[in-house]
Amino acid sequence: MKKLSTLSAVVFYMLMNAQYCTPVFQYGTDSNMITNVSFGNINNTSTSQSGNAQPYEDFTSLSADLQAGNSYQISVKGPSSTFPSDVVVFIDFNRNGNFDDAGESFYIGRLAAANPFNAFTVNGTITVPANAASGATRMRVLKNTNTSAYSDPNAPNSISTACDTSLRAGQTEDYTVNIAGNSGVFPSPYCGAENITTLTVSEITKVEFTGISSESNIDGTSDVIENFTSTVFNVNRDNSYPITITGGTQGQASVSAYAYIDFNHNNVFDPDEVFNLGYLDNSNPIPGKQSGVTSGTITIPAGAMLGQTRLRIVKAYESNSWMGTLENLPCPSGWFIGQAEDYILNVLASNLATSEVTKKASAKIYPNPTSGSVTVQTEEGLEKYEVYSLSGQKLLEGTSGTVNMNGFTSGTYLIRIYTKDKKSITEKIIKK
């Protein structure tokens, strides 16, 4: 084992003794404890005997080695007495002494009711962000019984924060994870040009988005995937933004442009993270070059994870001919005629103060604060409502004028109201 330098040892000691919060359980831990956590190098079995389990257990002497940008499986086992239990894992990726930042919580699943002798296990995946701070940091496994889930399998998660003081019954276990920096070269941890067999670089020359114009060469000597991750586009959840792409066409009418955005931070571009921006128009906006322009719109989902993520723009010649099928893909492969450019997209919370008020719709929500249900009334007529946590997770939706919040923990929630004249309003609801 390598010896820590004096400075490293001091930093490690300070980190491991940081004043992380402690959740509070109303009914303690008996018959609702965590009995095993398996994650990386950690495989920890703890007591399942009532009376011996404490609401908080410190296992920070146990650690798992992780690599930034990689994904890992985790399993959590434990009994759940009469009611099902939710399990959430928190990791302080930026090492700032709390678990409050975007991307630091993972809902692992719900344990069915069982006694300590036939307890169930839930499994999940934790993805370490590519920009996670290197070094030792805290991981918290939090388990809490969910009374609403007894009669409603779709009841919302009962754990709102790592410092929740309104938990019912369960346990908290803290561990250490050691994060090594992402050692991969660009575009790691995302796919690159490794699957291209025949290549003609046909360049993107300009990307115009969120008031920023990024220009690049169009001389045939550029890389097939260019690194512009020093350029950051700031966007807000649930807002739409126009984007314009300019580039070479070689006189072809079927040169498409697509945007791919890793909204869920899982280091891949999923099928629901794609925007078709259309075909370049051969208007020759670049003097002396066969070139074109296309424009589209990118809408940021209300549930997009907050923080920085990868945006990839791909311009590609599409065809189905003797050359085979050429298409626009987030990970170019086979015969590829085109180019990709990678940027950083920084997703911020919804700017409700501007985007929602301008829609000039009105709604009444009462009582607010509430200890149970609220009534929603709109002049335009209610089409449907959606209730979100402050982190953007959709918790509930419906079409009636009564919103039942009996199963929700105390805190602040967002309700998005859709009216019959196709407007939307977002308001806050405070649950007592």
pLDDT at 85: 95
Length, in residues, of the chain: 432
Cα separation, 430 vs 409, whole angstroms: 10
Cβ atoms within 10 Å of 430's Cβ, excluding its own: 14
pLDDT at 65: 92
Residue from 310, 311, 308, 285 nearest 206 by CA = 285
pLDDT at 415: 86
pLDDT along the chain (432 residues), means of 10: 36 50 91 94 90 91 89 92 94 90 91 90 88 89 94 92 93 95 78 90 96 91 93 92 94 95 89 94 93 94 90 95 83 93 92 41 80 87 81 76 87 81 76 82
8 Å CB contact between 119 and 81: no
Backbone angles phi, psi at 96, to 5 degrees: -100, 10
Q: Which helix (H) or strand (E) holds 87?
A: strand 85-91
Would you state the structure tokens that stand for residue 269, as one six-digit string?
A: 């571009």
Distances (CA, A) of 39 to 75, 141, 215, 356: 7, 11, 44, 42
| Sign of the torsion formed by the C-alpha atoms of 159, 163, 166 and 172 | positive
Residue from 226, 337, 246, 258 nearest 286 by CA = 246
pTM assigned to the model: 0.48
pLDDT at 419: 82
pLDDT at 288: 92
User: Which residues, 6 or more positions from 81, have their beta carbon under 8 angstroms from its beta carbon?
Assistant: 31, 32, 113, 115, 145, 169
Specify the amino acid at residue 257: A
Cα separation, 167 vs 32, whole angstroms: 12
pLDDT at 182: 66
